[in-house]
Structure 1
Amino acid sequence: MDELGLNINATGVSSRGTSPRLWVAPPNFRGTMGIFTLCVSTLLICVWNAIHFDIPMHRFSTSRKFMVAISWTLLAVISPELILFIAFNQRLAATNVLKLARKTFSARRPARQGVIEGDDSSESIKEVANGAQDIIPVDEELNRTRKYSFTIVHGFYASMGGFVFDFLDENGKLDGPTFLPPGQTRMCISSSGVQFLLRHDPDLIPDISESSITDRSRGSSVGKGILIAQLAWFCANCISRLAQHLPLSLLEIATVAHGLCGMLTYALWWHKPLGLIDPTLIRGKRAREACALMAICSMKHQFLAGGITSIHLPAEVDFMTTVLSNEDASQTELRKLKPSSSASPVSDSTELEKQPKHTAEGYVSLVPEEQGLGELGLTPQRYVSPGVLQETSIALKAQFLYRIRKDDIPWHSRRRMPNEPVNLSPLDVNRWLMASNAMKRYGVNLKTLVDEIPSSQPYVLPKSTMQASSDTKARSPKGIAVTNAATVLLTVAFGLPHFLGWNVDFPSLTERTLWRIATVTVTSWGVGMCILAVMGISVRWWFDASPWDRRGEALFVACGSAVYSTAAGFLLIESVVQLFFLPPAAYNLPSWSNYWPHFG
């Protein structure tokens, strides 16, 4: 006899008159494991589908790709508002690129004569898509009318490492002089770098269609539909429980908060391509010179832990000027130098001995503001750098966290006397000479670069990483206001759902008190940091300093982040602990939620 009271004969047909059950309703209760698996599955579906990775400069192996995905998934579970903030910054960057691109490409000026004098005919842009290699020469027609419209998808593509300077030719060999360290052949163009090119050399930006980008994306309407359906069911289930006066577990409340952040992240990244593995490569002499100019204008950044901690090196251009005095013989010789693809800018050892401003190792020694390099007479400033990496605490941070050796510190971040000669390495010389050529082509000088271009931005990066989008590096009133307003809104969006647990049953009174304190801390953290930012601006203004200078804020941000991380971590841990101390009513199900398809 089976459990329903039916006698089954050898043929498998019931022998009594009792009819089979055509429909059996699900139970009206749930268990601890059911609550746990429901919340975890909803959380993982939300996080896994919401994260849209940037494009790596080189293809990752399967194992490394998996480890990167796991790392970002764990970070999104622990700190979903950080991922939301990154998505907000990338959306803002993509929008800014789109606005400037439409303005630039809708008002093309007549071609300037001689702007590519000396360029090689092999300069090209190579688009890598699905294994195919399309070569698009850029020197055939400058300032040409673009075939494809620039859309928000292009804006995201430009903001996620879609465009990369490549120093290799078709045969995998160096295409000319380089200023990159040994083993490095590419530089990723950031969203700020794309805007730099739009202002000075828009023809270097490839003319590619939106479909050539989206066809490589692995995002699908099916995945989006599953995510939306699962989150909609989960939220409807929570609302139904509240309407029927059934208690929610803290884990469900935490899942609602994560789900809200996930949906907002998904909305901000809606037009961002998903799963792209190959960038568009930009090659040629003109591209290398543009890259050199963008490199000296870029603040160097290294990130760790999702961008929560980072180290910055000032932009080289802030420590450079031009020679104003009359040229002497040695200075004239220095200005005759040309970039070299060899280890030294000048390869003839006999010639090296005749030039007193060279060392036998190929280094060039310049007296600041007296001896210049290149046709523009580029020279170091007499200003003594504060030696960012020479301070003990930061030096330890650089060495142990970021693996920066003392020899890797660039010339402009080292301590020196005002008139002490500066020794430029062969790579430094190449970078200066190539940047000088780009400045001549664009009709700019160091003064206009410093005045018009914020040197707090990374225009080119040694690798593409979403960590670079964890901070806007804003130095303007509008930028600082937008960043702080976004911080307030995002922390409120994550913290507000936790107030649903204000009066739930806790294992102890102490845990309830700590939950309430942590909830208020997380929700109001953005407001507190905004107040500190306003106070910092006011203090700088009071002491006649630049009110928009962000130096000195790192300590406050670090302390605030420690407080926030502690509060958010407690909320997550307590959500799991309270699962084992639920009241009996928490195991009852609302009357209709089982009939909605879902995972769990």
Structure 2
Amino acid sequence: MQDPITGSSNETIKWQPEPALRGTFTIITTCVITLLLCVYSSVHLNLPAINQNRALVWLRRTGWIFGALFAPEYIIFTAQIQRSRAKLLSDEAREAFKSGGNDVLGDAENGSPPRRNPWTSSHSFWALMGGIAIKPSSRKPFIPNSVQSTLTANGVSLLLKTSPHLLPDISVDEVKDKSKASSLTKLLACVQASWFCLSTITRFIQHLPVSMLELNAFAHALCTLAVYVLWWHKPLDVSQPVFVSEDELDPLLAYMWMASKTSRLPPKPGDEHVEYTVGKDPEFEAILLDEKTAAGELNSSTSGPVDLLELSDGSTDSSPTTTSRVEVTTTTSLCDTNFTSNPSSTRWVETRTETTGTGEDAKSYSYTTNHPPKFYLAPLDIHRWRLAHHALIKYKLSKPTKNLDLVTVDAIGETMEYDNKDSPLEPLWGIALLFLLGTAYGGLHALAWDAHFPSERERLLWRVSSCIVASPLAVVILAVIVILLSELVGLNDDVEQSSNTKQKEKHKPAKSKTRRIVGFFWGIVKGLTVGLLSTAIVFLYIPARAYLVYESVRTVFFLPPGAFETPVWTQYLIHVT
């Protein structure tokens, strides 16, 4: 009688080797699982905006997942920028916190307790991704609607330089606890990606056919490993920041709010045919502060500590309080601040665009209005200005003349700007890295140059698409040639001299007629180049990317027999199929 479990009571097998063949279903499931793990787990998004709609959060994540599917090298580029910025922030924290984080500079002066937890790379990533938010603590409001704002990288850097003890003192374990993915989860994704890479490389070595779907998944697996190297210390899927609310922080918050785009004028409501646009300068850009007055205040402030202003009922502030609006002009300042309005700010410029007619008969007319350079400050604004002025004096800060991007009420973008003042060429290296990664991605697909395709037309389209995707290398070479030619001819002199003083420009020799003509045509050439590249990206590069993904899926049903053979030893490595 045959045993229902073993099949036979007499015959047993001590060891059955893995089959040397695989099926189409195994190829598809292995590639799909690897792609899903790589694409989904490689996207380490920054925190969403405070109280952001959950649907918008998922929409944002979906967009990045599709981006990782069609352009995985862009995720590497983003990770490299963030890693570079996190390293700079860690260096600043090392300067701010003594003895590896046990003592804080200025603790004795501020009377705050020593820092218990060291600042690590995980802290830097957590801070950069929007992990620290600020709540106004003043009983008297000074931020519109008392909204909570998130510290940007620049904002965290400012706190490290002025009041590092105000930053949350949490351990690295607490930072990791906020992440929805543990190191074990990341390790499993890396193991799957590593197995897939080894399996594909082994097929190349043994001259076994590789399906286009495997080749595409191989490129994503390599990108995922690179991303995890760069983002290993970055928390994954953190949804809520740590809130800081201290009276001592209010002046700095007022300063940061007025120096960021959060203080821009709100757009004026229009209608279907009328649209209004106003200057996008932050509030501080529209304010002037007399340098001599500011210097005198700074000198006087060094003689003794400046008490925190408490502009609420029963405060000790000696300035007059009012419930009505206060007018600040170019000649009239706000009491106790010496802040006047800046007449050259774009804040006073309003453009009204009116559209008449419909369809082909539609016409647009624009009208520009220059409003008087006046502020009409409500009590909330007065309190904010005085707090910001207090921060200027206490921390010896300079009045910003541009958007410093210190706080935001939106989600912090994943693609950050390089901010390494010691290496001004680093942004160029970043762009070159992005283009070279794109070339490598296209080059991997070009490995299937002589692979089996259902038709010669599809083979030709694959080759052309691979070359187009690998073309950024040519763009890098062309850009280097353009820069070298510009330097050789001296066409970049104007850019360099624009930052010089007027005294230097006064003694600048006049351009020759030949150089002016060459410069004119050179500008045309550069404009045409930018236009052609933009057109090529829209009509060639993006379709080529899409075709590589489409053809990778289609050709899995037209594979030669050798594609179903497996390198036996790879079956014994841990993986998911």
- TM-score, L = length of structure 2: 0.72
Would you say 1:440 and 2:379 are equivalent positions?
A: no
User: Per-residue deviation at 1:313?
Assistant: 4.4
What corresponds to 1:417 in structure 2?
Answer: 370
User: Per-residue deviation at 1:457?
Assistant: 4.8
Between stretches 184-193 and 53-62, larger displacement belongs to: 53-62
User: Per-residue deviation at 1:263?
Assistant: 1.0
In structure 2, relative to structure 1, the CA distance for the partners of 1:590 and 1:10 (3 Å cut) is closer
Would you say 1:97 and 2:89 are equivalent positions?
A: yes
User: Per-residue deviation at 1:531?
Assistant: 5.3
What pairs up with 1:262-341 in 2 under 5 angstroms?
Answer: 262-299=224-261, 313-322=280-289
What corresponds to 1:541 in structure 2?
Answer: 492
In structure 2, relative to structure 1, the CA distance for the partners of 1:35 and 1:427 (3 Å cut) is farther
What corresponds to 1:594 in structure 2?
Answer: 571
What corresponds to 1:578 in structure 2?
Answer: 555
Would you say 1:50 and 2:19 are equivalent positions?
A: no
In structure 2, relative to structure 1, the CA distance for the partners of 1:103 and 1:433 (3 Å cut) is same
Q: Is the 8 A contact 2:281 2:345 kept in 1?
A: no
What corresponds to 2:446 in structure 1?
Answer: 499
User: Per-residue deviation at 1:288?
Assistant: 2.5
What pairs up with 1:349-428 in 2 under 5 angstroms?
Answer: 352=324, 358=325, 364-367=326-329, 369-383=330-344, 385=346, 390=351, 416-417=369-370, 420-423=373-376, 428=381
Would you say 1:251 and 2:213 are equivalent positions?
A: yes
In structure 2, relative to structure 1, the CA distance for the partners of 1:158 and 1:583 (3 Å cut) is same
Give CA deviations for 1:499-556 in whole Å, capped at 9, x if unaligned.
22222223344433333333333334266268559958969834346789xxx99989
In structure 2, relative to structure 1, the CA distance for the partners of 1:559 and 1:512 (3 Å cut) is same
Would you say 1:177 and 2:141 are equivalent positions?
A: yes
Q: Which residue of the other structure, out of 484, 490, 497, is the alignment partner of 2:431? A: 484
Question: Which amino acid counterpart does residue 44 of structure 1 have in structure 2?
Answer: L
For 1:99 and 1:534, the matched residues in 2 are separated by 36
Give CA deviations for 1:342-377 in whole Å, capped at 9, x if unaligned.
xxx99966xx4xxxxx4xxxxx5443x323235332
For 1:45 and 1:167, the matched residues in 2 are separated by 41
Q: Which residue of the other structure, out of 399, 407, 415, is the alignment partner of 1:469? A: 415
Give CA deviations for 1:53-94 in whole Å, capped at 9, x if unaligned.
334464778877666554443332233223222222221121
Does the residue aligned with 1:164 lie in a helix, a strand or coil?
A: strand
Would you say 1:569 and 2:546 are equivalent positions?
A: yes
The alignment yields a C-alpha RMSD, in angstroms, of 4.3
User: Per-residue deviation at 1:206?
Assistant: 2.5
In structure 2, relative to structure 1, the CA distance for the partners of 1:431 and 1:386 (3 Å cut) is closer
Q: Which residue of the other structure, out of 123, 129, 150, is the alignment partner of 1:160? A: 129
User: Per-residue deviation at 1:95?
Assistant: 0.7
User: Per-residue deviation at 1:269?
Assistant: 0.9
Q: Is the 8 A contact 2:194 2:221 kept in 1?
A: no
Q: Is the 8 A contact 1:157 1:273 kept in 2?
A: yes
What pairs up with 1:204-223 in 2 under 5 angstroms?
Answer: 204-223=166-185
For 1:301 and 1:589, the matched residues in 2 are separated by 62
Work out the percentage of aligned pairs sharing the same amino acid.
28
Q: Is the 8 A contact 1:339 1:429 kept in 2?
A: no
Does the residue aligned with 1:370 lie in a helix, a strand or coil?
A: coil
Between stretches 45-54 and 95-104, larger displacement belongs to: 45-54
Does the residue aligned with 1:371 lie in a helix, a strand or coil?
A: coil
Question: Which amino acid counterpart does residue 178 of structure 1 have in structure 2?
Answer: F
- TM-score, L = length of structure 1: 0.69
In structure 2, relative to structure 1, the CA distance for the partners of 1:495 and 1:293 (3 Å cut) is farther
In structure 2, relative to structure 1, the CA distance for the partners of 1:240 and 1:112 (3 Å cut) is closer
Q: Is the 8 A contact 2:136 2:250 kept in 1?
A: yes
Q: Is the 8 A contact 1:163 1:279 kept in 2?
A: yes
Q: Is the 8 A contact 2:176 2:182 kept in 1?
A: no
User: Per-residue deviation at 1:228?
Assistant: 2.4
Which structure 1 residue ranges, 5 or more long, are not aligned?
1-6, 114-138, 169-173, 303-311, 327-336, 353-357, 359-363, 396-413
Give CA deviations for 1:125-144 in whole Å, capped at 9, x if unaligned.
xxxxxxxxxxxxxx6x15x6
Would you say 1:76 and 2:68 are equivalent positions?
A: yes
Give CA deviations for 1:31-69 in whole Å, capped at 9, x if unaligned.
333222111100111233333333446477887766655
